[in-house]
Structure 1
Amino acid sequence: MMFTSPGRAARRLLLSVAAVSLLAGCGSTQATSTQATPAQATSTAAYPLSLPVPGQDQPLVLKSRPERIAVLSPDAATAVDELVGIGPVIAVPSSSQRPSTSVRVQDFAHVPHVIPDGVNPDPEQVLSWNPDLVVVTARHTGETDASAALTQAGVPVLTLTNNWQTPKDVADNITLIGRALDAEAKAAELVSRIDSGMAAVREQVASVTERPSVLIMPNMGGKVYVSATNVLTSALVDAAGGVNAAVEAGYTHTMPVSPEQVVAADPDMIMLIDVMGAGEKSFSAVMDNPAVRKLPAVRDGKVRLFSASKIYGIGGVELVDGLKDIAGWLHPTTTR
C-alpha cells in the first residue's frame, strides 16, 4: 500500500517497526452497582486531552475532538454511537451490522468501512482510512497487536481491557469513552439508566427463594459453547435471580461443550444465545442428542433462544431490556 503524503509515509515506516517488535515479542461476577468510579466520573474533557486509561502504561492523548473514529470492536461501537451518534464513525466490525449482535443495525449500515467477521484488524488498512481515534477492546491477540501497531504509528488508540464482563465494566467503558469524546454528561445519563434499570430488576427478584441453575450456551464459529463466569451474560443471569450451571459444574472459562457435558451439568434451564444469527438449528449438534432431549429442562420446555444483541456488552443501555427478559423467563410470576 503506497501513501502519497509525507505524514502517511512516516506512519507506514513506524508500522513496519511495530510489526517487527510484535513478531519478536509474540509468545467474580457478583452483581454490583454499575456506577463508574468517582475518578472516572468527575473529570471534564477539554482538548488537548491527556486521559489515563486503565490497563495502559501511557495516557490517551487527543489534540482535538475526534472527527474520524475507527471502532474495531462491536461493544465499543455501540457505546460510541450511543454517546455521539454515527456521524464521526468511519469504521466498525461487520457484526455491528448484524441484528443478532447489534441493536443499532440501521445506524451502522451507513458506516463507510467494515471489518469482516473472523479477520483480525489490519493496522495498515486502518491507517489508510486516516482515523484520528481508534477504539478497540483488547479481547484477542489480533486486537491487542493492532492496538500496539497503531499506537506505534502515531494514531491515538483507546484500548479497553476489561472485556465488558460485568455491568460495572460496561459502565466504566461508557464513562471512559464519554470522556474521550467530550460526552461525559451523556455517558452519565446512560450509566444512570443502566444502573436504575438493573436495580429495579434486582428488587423484583430479591424475594425469590429458588434460584434455577441456567446453562448458558452461545453459538460461535460453527460450534456450541458453554459460558462460565467470564462473560456478561453470567452476571445478568445472577442479577435476574439465577445461577450459572457451568460454574456449579466446575467450569472456569468459556469453552466448546459436548452433549455429554450438558447431560452431566443437568441444568434447570438452558439458555441458547444466538451470536451468529443462525437460529435454533445451529445448536442441533448438541440439543438433538437423545440424552440431552431426555433432560428435564428440555422435556419441560425450559429452553429458550436469546439474541446476543441485548445480553452481551454490545447491548449498551439495551442491557436493561435484556436483563428484564431473562428475569421474566426465570421468574415469570415474580416479574410480571
Structure 2
Amino acid sequence: MAIGVALGILSLAMTARAETVTVTDIAGREVEVSIPVERIILGEGRQIYLLAALDTEDPFKRVVGWREDLSQADPDSYAAYLAKFPRIADIPTFGGFKDGSFDVEQAVSLKPDVVIMNIESKQATEDARYIEKLAAAGIPLVYVDFREHPFANTEPSMRLFGHLIGKSERAEEFVAWRQAEIKRVTDVIDKANPTRPTVFIDRAGGYSEECCMSFGDDNFGKFVEMAGGTNIAKDIIPATFGSVNPEQIIAADPDQIIVTGGWWEAYVPGGAWVGVAPGRNMEAAREKLAALAKRPAMTGVKAVETGRMHAIWHQFYNSPYQFVGIQQMAKWLHPELFADLDPEATFRELHERFLPVPYRPGYWVSLTDAQ
C-alpha cells in the first residue's frame, strides 16, 4: 500500500510539473505542447547552435533525433561537441524534409515531445503532410527561423526554444546580450553616418563553379547594411537568397568583397571554397581566397585591386551568433570607427558565457592585412 501511495504521489508530482500550453511558432501557427519538453527531434542539426546557448550544461540531453547536417556542414564544431559529449555519435539521424528523406515512422518511434523545423522546410513539410502524420501520433511540430529572415525571427526563435525547454530566463539573457553587441555597431554607424562602401557578398564562393550566389536585403545582405556598407545585390535579388551575374559585379565595382566559407570537404571534396572554420589554417584559407580573386567576375574590381577582399564563416547566416559577423564586417568596412572593437573577444565571451565547448579562432581571413 505504501509503495502504491508513493507511486501515486510521484505520478501526481510529474503531472503537476508538466503543463500543456499553446505556443505560437515562427510561421504564426498556434501549437499545443506539453512543457518543459524532455525529448526533442531537431529538424536541422545546426539548431544545436542555439540549444547549446540555453541548455549549456548538456545541450544533447533532450535530443533524441536530428538531421545529419552538422557533421557535414560544420565538421569542426561537430568534432568539438563530440569530444565533450561522445554519445552524440549514437543519436539517430535522418535526411532532410525538402528531399523527402525524413522518415515519419522513425520519428514516431523516437517518441519525441516536439519536432522543431526550420521555416524554409514549411512547403515541403506541408506537401508531404508531415504535420498531420505526426499529430496523429500526438507529436507537435513547431517552426523556427535563423536563416530566411534572421533579424525578424532570431529572437522570437530563441524565446520559443527557451519556453519549450523551461529556459526562458536564459533565453532572455542571451537575447539581451545579443542586442547590446549589435548596438555596439549600429549606434556608432547611426551617430557617425559615414560614407558607406559598396560590398558584394559572395555566398559560398568556390563551392560550385557557378558565379555568383549572394544575398538580397536580409541575412548577410542586412549584415552589410548594419555594419555601415551598401549591399550591391540589395536591389538585384528580391528575396533573401539569389544570384548575381559576373557582369553585374564588374559594373558595380564594389569597394569590398566578402566571401562566405566553411570546411565543406564532405560536400565538395577538394573544392575551391575558403576553409574558414574553428581551428583551421588561415594561411591555407587565404590562398583559397586569393584563387577566388582571379575569377572572371573579379576582373578589375576595386576590392581585389586594393586587397579589400575577405572571407567569413558561412554559418553566421544560420545561427544566433550573427552579431559576431556584423562586428567583424564593421571592422573591415570602417576600421577607423571600430578600432577598439574586438569581434574575436566577443566570440570568445559568447563561448565562455553560453557554450560548453572552448573557442577556437579561424572564423575570418582577409586577402591582405589592408583594411
In the alignment, the residues of structure 2 paired with residue 151 and residue 323 of structure 1 have an alpha-carbon distance, to the nearest angstrom, of 39
In structure 1, the residue matched to 2:124 is: 142
Partner of 1:48: 20
What is the distance in 2 between the residues matched to 1:308 and 1:174? 20
In 2, the alpha carbon distance for the partners of 1:306 and 1:300 equals 18
Measure how far apart 1:326 and its partner are. Answer: 1.1
Quick check: 1:88 aligned with 2:94? no
For residue 271 of structure 1, report the CA deviation from its aligned partner: 1.2
CA distance in 1, matches of 2:177, 2:148: 17
* Aligned residue among 304, 328, 332 for 2:310: 304
Deviations 1:72-114 (A, max 9, x none): 1255332222212221112333332357488565336743123
Rg larger in structure: 2
87-96 vs 105-114, which moves further: 105-114
Report Cα offsets for 1:2-58 as digits up to 9, x if no partner: xxxxxxxxxxxxxxxxxxxxxxxxxxxxxxxxxxxxxxxxxxx96122223353444
2:252 counterpart residue number: 265
Equivalent of 2:104 in 97, 103, 123:
123
1:209 corresponds in structure 2 to 194
- CA–CA separation in structure 2 for the residues paired with 1:54 and 1:174: 11
Distance in 1 of aligned mates of 2:227 and 2:21: 39
- Partner in structure 1 of residue 364 of structure 2: none
Three-state SS of the structure 1 residue aligned to 2:120 is: coil
Work out the CA distance in 2 between the residues paired with 1:82 and 1:72: 18
State the shift of 1:291 in Å. Answer: 5.3
Q: Decide whether aligned partners of structure 1 residues 334 and 162 sit closer, same or farther in structure 2, where only a CA change above 3 A counts.
A: closer
CA contact (8 A) 2:201 2:260 kept: yes
Counterpart residue identity of residue 326, structure 1: M
Task: Give 1:127 shift.
Answer: 2.4
What is the SS of the residue equivalent to 1:282? coil
1:198 to 172, 182, 200: 182
Give TM-score scaled by structure 2 length: 0.67
SS of the equivalent of 2:19 reads: coil
Within a 5 Å distance, the mapping from 1:152-167 to structure 2 comes to 152-160=136-144, 163=147, 165-167=149-151
TM-aligned CA deviation for residue 163 of structure 1: 4.7
Residue number among 273, 281, 284 corresponding to 1:282 in the alignment: 273
Larger relative CO (CA 8 A, sep 6+): 1 or 2? Answer: 1
Structure 1 residue 245: Cα displacement: 0.8
- Write out per-residue CA displacement over residues 279-331 of structure 1, whole angstroms, 9 at most, x where no aligned residue: 9823899753345231111121121111112x2132x2x32222211111111
> Which 5+ residue runs of structure 1 have no aligned equivalent?
1-44
> Which of 196, 212, 227 lines up with 2:215 in the alignment?
227
The letter of the residue matching 1:282 is W
- Aligned-residue Cα RMSD (Å) equals 3.1
Moved beyond 6 Å, runs of 4+: 283-286
- Secondary structure of 1:327's counterpart equals helix
1:52 corresponds to which letter in structure 2? Answer: T
Partner of 1:293: 299
Distance in 1 of aligned mates of 2:226 and 2:75: 22
Contact 2:131–2:140 under 8 Å retained in 1: no
CA offset digits 1:220-246 (Å, max 9, x no partner): 8734412112x3222221111111110
From the superposition, tell whether residues 264 and 189 of structure 1 become closer, same or farther in structure 2 (CA, over 3 Å). same
Instruction: Provide the aligned length of Structure 1 versus Structure 2.
Output: 286
Tell me, which stretches of 5 or more residues in structure 2 are unaligned?
1-16, 275-287, 340-371
State the alpha-carbon separation in 2 of the partners of residues 106 and 291 from structure 1. 36
Cα distance in 1 for partners of 2:106, 2:310 equals 40
The residue type paired with residue 193 of structure 1 is: W
Matches of 2:103 and 2:253, distance apart in 1 = 43
Partner residue of 2:93 out of 90, 94, 114: 114
Identity in percent: 20
C-alpha distance in structure 2 between counterparts of 1:242 and 1:198, whole Å: 15
Q: Give the equivalent residue in structure 1 for 2:355.
A: none
| Cα distance in 1 between the residues matched to 2:248 and 2:64 | 43
Please state how far the C-alpha of 1:134 moved relative to its aligned partner. Answer: 0.8
Amino acid at match of 1:157: L
Residues 171-190 of structure 1: pairs in structure 2 closer than 5 A: 171-190=155-174
- Decide whether aligned partners of structure 1 residues 232 and 290 sit closer, same or farther in structure 2, where only a CA change above 3 A counts: closer
Please state whether the residue corresponding to 1:191 is helix, strand or coil. Answer: helix
Q: Which residue of 2 aligns with 1:328?
A: 331
